[in-house]
Amino acid sequence: MLYMATKSISIRELQQNLKSVIERVARGQVIEVTRRHRPVARLGPVEPVGSFSPWPDLKARTRAVFGERIVKPSASDMVAEGRGNR
């Protein structure tokens, strides 16, 4: 992502225009927040988070812990049933 030039704004301006400032930050601009013309904070876009790892295989984990003493229905079946069509 390309970063735009840093812009300084006062705390008051940030309070009055928070939504538009956050939108600019989300687009890549770095904003320096000042109090009495001195920098006190810097707002910048968050680095993209990698993909989340899927749920571990609950059936395999249950087998590893309990061996063949598996209770029916399995934990993964109960989770899937609880989720419904989500």
Q: What is the pLDDT of residue 71?
A: 66
Structural domains of the chain, ranges and CATH numbers in brackets: 4-43 (3.40.1620), 56-86 (no CATH)
The answer to whether the CB of 28 falls within 8 A of the CB of 34 is: no
Alpha-carbon gap, residue 80 to 74, rounded angstroms: 10
Q: Is the pLDDT of residue 3 over 60?
A: no
The answer to whether the CB of 5 falls within 8 A of the CB of 31 is: no
* Listed residue (16, 5, 8, 17) closest to 36, CA to CA: 8
pLDDT digits (tens, 9 = 90+) for 72-83: 777 778 888 888
Q: What is the pLDDT of residue 15?
A: 95
Q: How far is CA 75 from CA 25, 38, 43, 60, 63, in A?
A: 43, 56, 43, 10, 11
Between helix 75-83 and helix 58-66 the angle, nearest 10°, is 150
pLDDT band at 64 (very low <50, low <70, confident <90, very high): confident
pLDDT digits (tens, 9 = 90+) for 30-58: 999 999 999 999 999 987 666 656 666 77
* Listed residue (62, 58, 63, 52) closest to 82, CA to CA: 58
